[in-house]
Structure 1
Amino acid sequence: MEYIANFPREHLREREDAFHIKRFEQIWGGDHLLRGREPRDGDIHLMSNDYLCIQDEPALRKAQAHALLNGKTDLLMSSIFTLEGSSMQQLEAAFASYMQSEEAIICQSGFAANVGLLQCIASPSIPVYLDLNAHASLWEGAKVAGARGIAFRHNDPAHAERQIKRNGPGVLVVDAVYSTDGSLCPLAEITDLAERTGCILVVDESHSLGTHGPAGAGLTVGLDLAYRVHFRTASLAKTFAGRAGLIACPARFKEYFRMESNPAIFSSGLLEHEYVWFLEALSLIRGADDRRRRLHTISKSVRRSLDEMGYDVGGGTEQIVAIESGDERETRRMRDALQQAGVFGAVFCPPATSRNHCLVRLSLHSGLSEADLDALIERCSAARSAM
């Protein structure tokens, strides 16, 4: 305790005070913006990214439990030491086939996949062109690579082309479905642009893998672009309801990545029951066309209803419905009104958004019944009236 009491805090105090005093006490009024009140029975929860509702599937849980109780001892080491024929390699082969890719690499998370990938393909002499709404992990990857991160306007290939002509070929980075507003990337135009300008193309499929394309193989496969996009990444903590990341890549790149990517080298691999979960989940998701159709129908319906009520749901079209809420004080009022009405979404604020463009994000899922949807629209209407 004496060590803690005498810890030299001066260099941290200013930054801590900026959060605890200015942000938490003054702006948020002592009420954590991302939390609010405790949910009650009957409230509608739209915070999870389990878009096809597989987390509670009995077959998946049984398979994982069996692996935990009867599986072999795990290798608690970096995955670069994993031997031929391992569960990791079986899963990578399954995802490569699913995504029509030469190879796939399992990573510790979507963040690790994006940071590790960009560390390996960008450098101080190779700029990275990022859509303004690209995920934070992609921006962090450019930073780790020492590359210039050059922004282009959201979903604006023409502006991206002007940036590339001004600064030279590099790495062009987009999301297939953007996590902040649910908008769909104009991927065919972006792919043409990458080829025309000599750029490496990276597409983050975190919010489209499992939900878009044939058998859920992603937007890239759905648009028949699998052999034109150089790299695809994904977080498997969305539709696949687990905890890992993925890179779809050329075969020659795989071992280079394993030996050059710091997140891959210096993190332990997954555990046996996690590989089992993903293999079972992949089988289920391949055959989940009814759930995918339901998800897309729900997304269109909810967006239309919220727009008619006067909510600003931006330019999105997919299962992520982001309600623009303004600055953090205005966002707290919107969060409280929705929660009071019994609707729980996820609050997005800086650093996930810009300062005055916070969001309350509703992540829709295929398990919502017609009664659930009626209740959701009724409650959102009540919250709108209260605001």
Structure 2
Amino acid sequence: MNHSVMTLHRTKPFHHAPEPAFLARRVEGYYRERVQNTWDGGHIMRGRQPGEGAIHLSSNDYLSLARHPKILRAAAECLLKSGNGLLMSGIFLHGANPLLEFEKRLANFMGAQAGVLCQSGFAANTGLVQSIADENTPVYVDKMAHMSLWEGIRSAGAQAVAFHHNDMEHLNRQILKYGPGVILVDSVYSTNGSVCPLDVLVEVGASHGCVLVVDESHSLGTHGVHGEGLVAALGLCDKVHFRTASLAKAFAGRAGFITCSERFSEYFKFEANPAIFSSTLLPHEIAGLDATLTVIRDEPWRRKALHGNAAYLRDHLDDLGYNLNGCQSQIIALESGTERQTIALRDALEARGIFGSVFCAPATAKNRALIRLSINGTLTDDELARIVDVCRQIRDEVGMADWASTRRKKAQPPVIEHREAIAAVA
């Protein structure tokens, strides 16, 4: 028997380069103002760990495709056959190529002349705005538009002109003041699940000669007869210049997409910094996304189940007194207000096995933090009933009656505009 003892080698502690005072002050400000003063030494994003039987409402996998066997098989077979392929910028691709072929297929699915695949939805939005606006371009952006669109404005050096959420009259006044430019909106807003009045938007944009950009990250795959997105479902493809999307939502992958003209597709790939200076997607990612598109087209029951589940929860939570801020989609937000109140809401939900996503500044306005519930199509009737029951139980515990959002709900009539149109294409 070998009785030798293996020598343990202790590694020396690593020493980080000392931070200059200006950086140290900034980092210390985070720990002092947020962690200590606002979160009382805890962390708003780090609650309990989900246990057995927990209901997960934090994933954007709305159609429950992340473990679909056909998709996994396509990606796995491609990975074993092709490895990671050629690692290079997409600007070098031409001729017969799976990525370029998928661009055409997805563009056709969305009713567009052409499209461009990007590394992420963030890269798609920042690259697009950077390539269509400059310091002389007013860019009109909904106050609740995704942060990547705001980052695109900064990247372009353009003038950001905000307009009130879904307020087309305010948008019109802003354009009259600053002149024609680019309009940026989400079709379904990721923070609270509200839906853009796209039919009115295109009228306002066309009347002023503006370029329209609609982020369809949360409607591609989930809305339309085949999942083609809200713009196509409403018959507005020829009135919207660009649509963007993250394929990390209903497509359950990792990529971004832009619909555009054939001419613009070429221009974008050699003009947008994210397109030029990032490596292209890997072959197995393309294979998985291509299989996902087939599943989305061929399994419409997933969309039907998704919207049925979302409607059930919206109706019941509204009846319980929660202010859903005009939500008309699979994203349901419980706006608790301050970050302390949101921690209390998070803890109450998680203690009962319900896990959503915390949204706070800078993802929301200050003191309008919330728990976002991302609904999926495979929630069972028992799980839906359990979510409603938990939300009923905790109302007094979390002080829902005293939330600012609850007071707004009592003071304002319910938002019903566009519901019939959205229901028809969901």
TM-score (norm 1): 0.98
Q: Measure, in 1, the Cα distance between the counterparts of 2:97 and 2:126.
A: 25
Structure 1: which amino acid aligns with 2:163? F
State whether structure 2 residue 54 is matched by structure 1 residue 43. yes
Whether 1:166 aligns to 2:173 is no
| Cross-structure match for 1:140 | 151
Between the aligned partners of 1:2 and 1:38, the Cα distance in structure 2 is 30
C-alpha displacement at 1:374, in angstroms?
1.1
State the alpha-carbon separation in 1 of the partners of residues 145 and 122 from structure 2.
12
Q: What whole-Å deviation, never above 9, does each CA across 1:334-382 have from its counterpart, x for those lacking one?
A: 1111111211100000110111101100000000111111111112222
- Equivalent of 1:186 in 197, 203, 212: 197
Which amino acid is 1:338 matched to? Answer: L
Within the alignment, does 1:288 sit opposite 2:299 as a pair? yes
Contact 2:84/2:284, CA 8 A, preserved across alignment: no
Structure 1 stretch displaced more, 284-293 or 208-217: 284-293
Taking the aligned partners of 1:254 and 1:329, their CA distance within structure 2 comes to 46
Task: Give 1:214 shift.
Answer: 2.2
The alpha-carbon distance between structure 1 residues 289 and 18, as it changes in their structure 2 partners (threshold 3 A), is: same
The equivalent of 2:315 in structure 1 is 304
| Inter-CA distance 6–262: structure 2 relative to 1 (3 Å threshold) | closer
Q: Stretches of 4+ moved more than 3 A in 1? A: 1-6
Give the counterpart of 1:28 among 26, 36, 39.
Answer: 39
**5+ long unaligned stretches in structure 1:** none
How far off its partner does 1:297 sit? 1.4
Match of 1:156? Answer: 167
Q: 2:14, 2:39 → 1: CA distance? A: 33
SS of the equivalent of 2:238 reads coil
Q: Find the partner of 1:56 among 67, 73, 82.
A: 67
User: Paired residue for 1:116?
Assistant: 127
C-alpha separation in 2, matches of 1:283 and 1:338: 36
Q: Secondary structure at the match of 1:133?
A: coil
Alpha-carbon separation, structure 2, partners of 1:364 and 1:3:
44
Looking at structure 1, the residues matched to 84 and 353 of structure 2 have their Cα atoms a distance apart, in angstroms, of 45
- 1:208 aligned residue (211, 219, 238): 219
User: Larger radius of gyration, structure 1 or 2?
Assistant: 2
Among 225, 228, 234, the alignment partner of 1:217 is 228
Amino acid at match of 2:234: L
Q: Which residue of the partner structure matches residue 417 of structure 2?
A: none
CA apart distance, 1:219: 0.4
- The residue type equivalent to 1:293 in the other structure is K
User: Structure 2, unaligned stretches of length 5 or more?
Assistant: 1-11, 399-426
C-alpha distance in structure 1 between counterparts of 2:389 and 2:299, whole Å = 29
Matching of residue 10 in structure 1 with residue 21 in structure 2: yes
Q: CA deviation digits over 1:110-139, x for unaligned, max 9? A: 000000000000111011000111000001
Residue-by-residue CA offset, 1:276-329 (whole Å, 9 max, x unaligned): 000000000012221111111111110111112222221111000011110111
Cα distance in 2 between the residues matched to 1:86 and 1:216: 25
Aligned CA RMSD, in angstroms, stands at: 1.3
Looking at structure 1, the residues matched to 235 and 200 of structure 2 have their Cα atoms a distance apart, in angstroms, of 13
Instruction: State the secondary structure of the residue aligned to 1:215.
Output: coil
2:142 maps to which of 131, 152, 175: 131
CA distance 1:46–1:5, change in 2 (3 Å): closer
The TM-score with structure 2 as length reference comes to 0.89
Instruction: Give the whole-Å Cα distance in 1 for the aligned partners of 2:315 and 2:80.
Output: 47
**Corresponding residue number in structure 2 for 1:276:** 287
Query: What do residues 150-185 of structure 1 show as CA deviations (whole Å, max 9, x unaligned)?
Result: 111111111100000000000011100000110111
Equivalent position SS for 1:260:
coil
AA partner of residue 282 (structure 2): L
* Structure 1 counterpart of 2:406: none
**One-letter amino acid matched to 2:82:** G
User: Bigger shift: 25-34 or 361-370?
Assistant: 25-34
Q: Across the two proteins, how many residue pairs are aligned to each other?
A: 387
With 371-380 and 248-257 compared, the bigger mean Cα shift is at 371-380
